């Protein structure tokens, strides 16, 4: 599927709070062993993994993740690493070690979501349907505490969206600041968080950090 087809498929499959989708997890764990796409982490996913595993952020990063550069955005993206057999390193004896704190992508699966600079939309995608029961989107979000993360989600979305716009500007200007900005984003997105503060406070600090360091970096 090319990029435009992929974008079209997202917009064609957006669902509202009262819409239903078909799914019924059989808890076979296959999606934790053979997921086709890497599991991308938000900053608060890494924060939750560190807390749930009693590690520091850096220890959790080294043990469970790797960092890649977004193909289009050129921003740092931290993903979960896999074992050689393709299974997630957080899968032990067929169960997620951090079930209550698992990353948003895992809690949301089989749905995906999209941030437009102001709010999130949720969409169905080509993924496991399990036993295929009808589920309402709003019930699904409640069941997996996705609304608990709303303020953090919005702050995260704004932070990354603002950084993506700023990076596009630097790339267009062929600026020498690209590499420095990538490093600053890695720090602000993932590495700077204080585990004793709330994730919302941390994300506000990350936004201020980039605003103070880079003139013209804006958050709407
Ligand atoms: S989502 Fe699908 S693959 Fe994953 S555990 Fe449930 S039934 Fe198995
Ligand atoms: S973090 Fe947990 S739910 Fe997500 S892929 Fe790994 S084992 Fe599965």
User: Ligand 2: does its nearest atom lie under 6 Å from the Cβ of 52?
Assistant: no
User: Ligand 1: does its nearest atom lie under 6 Å from the Cβ of 127?
Assistant: no
Rounded CA-CA distance 38/31 in Å is: 11
Rounded CA-CA distance 138/128 in Å is: 19
**Most confidently modeled range among 23-32, 110-119, 188-197:** 188-197
Do 33 and 162 contact (CB within 8 A), yes or no?
no
Q: Over the stretch 150-207, which tens digit does the pLDDT of each residue have?
A: 899 999 999 999 999 999 999 999 999 999 999 999 999 999 999 999 999 999 999 9
Residues 107 and 28 in one domain: yes
Give me the pLDDT at residue 118, please: 84
Residues 125 and 167 in one domain: no
Residues 64 and 31 in one domain: yes
Residues 137 and 161 in one domain: no
Summary mean pLDDT of the chain = 92
**Ligand 1 centroid vs 93 CA: distance in angstroms?**
15
Do 54 and 69 contact (CB within 8 A), yes or no?
no
Using most ligand atoms within 8 A of CB, pick from 103, 128, 144 the residue to mutate for ligand 2: 103
Residues 165 and 145 in one domain: no
Rounded CA-CA distance 209/192 in Å is: 10
**Ligand 2 centroid vs 91 CA: distance in angstroms?**
6
For 22, the token pair is 């078909």
Residue 83 lies in a domain: yes
User: Which residues constitute the domain of residue 131?
Assistant: 3-149
User: Ligand 2: does its nearest atom lie under 6 Å from the Cβ of 164?
Assistant: no
Residues 122 and 98 in one domain: yes
Give me the pLDDT at residue 47, please: 96
Q: Over the stretch 32-54, which tens digit does the pLDDT of each residue have?
A: 998 788 999 999 999 999 999 99
Q: How distant is the alpha carbon of residue 69 from its chain centre?
A: 14
Residues 101 and 175 in one domain: no
The percent of residues in the chain predicted with pLDDT above 70, rounded, is 100
User: Ligand 1: does its nearest atom lie under 6 Å from the Cβ of 27?
Assistant: yes
Banded pLDDT at 78 (limits 50, 70, 90): very high
Residues 61 and 86 in one domain: yes
Using most ligand atoms within 8 A of CB, pick from 24, 27, 144 the residue to mutate for ligand 1: 27
């Amino acid at each position: 599927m090319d990029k435009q087809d992929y974008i079209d498929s997202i917009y064609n499959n957006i669902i509202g709070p009262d819409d239903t989708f078909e799914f019924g997890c059989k808890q076979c764990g296959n999606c934790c062993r053979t997921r086709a796409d890497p599991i991308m982490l938000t900053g608060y996913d890494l924060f939750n993994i560190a807390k749930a595993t009693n590690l520091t952020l850096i220890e959790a990063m080294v043990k469970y993740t790797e960092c890649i550069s977004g193909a289009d955005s050129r921003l740092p993206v931290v993903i979960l690493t896999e074992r050689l057999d393709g299974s997630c390193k957080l899968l032990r004896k067929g169960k997620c070690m951090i079930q209550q704190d698992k990353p948003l992508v895992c809690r949301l699966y089989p749905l995906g979501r999209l941030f437009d600079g102001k709010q999130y939309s949720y969409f169905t995608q080509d993924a496991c349907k399990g036993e295929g029961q009808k589920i309402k989107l709003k019930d699904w979000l409640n069941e997996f505490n996705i609304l608990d993360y709303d303020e953090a989600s919005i702050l995260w979305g704004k932070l990354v969206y603002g950084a993506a716009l700023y990076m596009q500007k630097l790339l267009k200007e062929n600026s020498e600041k690209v590499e420095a900005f990538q490093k600053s984003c890695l720090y602000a997105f993932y590495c700077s968080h204080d585990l004793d503060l709330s994730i919302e406070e941390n994300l506000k600090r990350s936004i201020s950090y980039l605003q103070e360091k880079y003139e013209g970096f804006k958050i709407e």
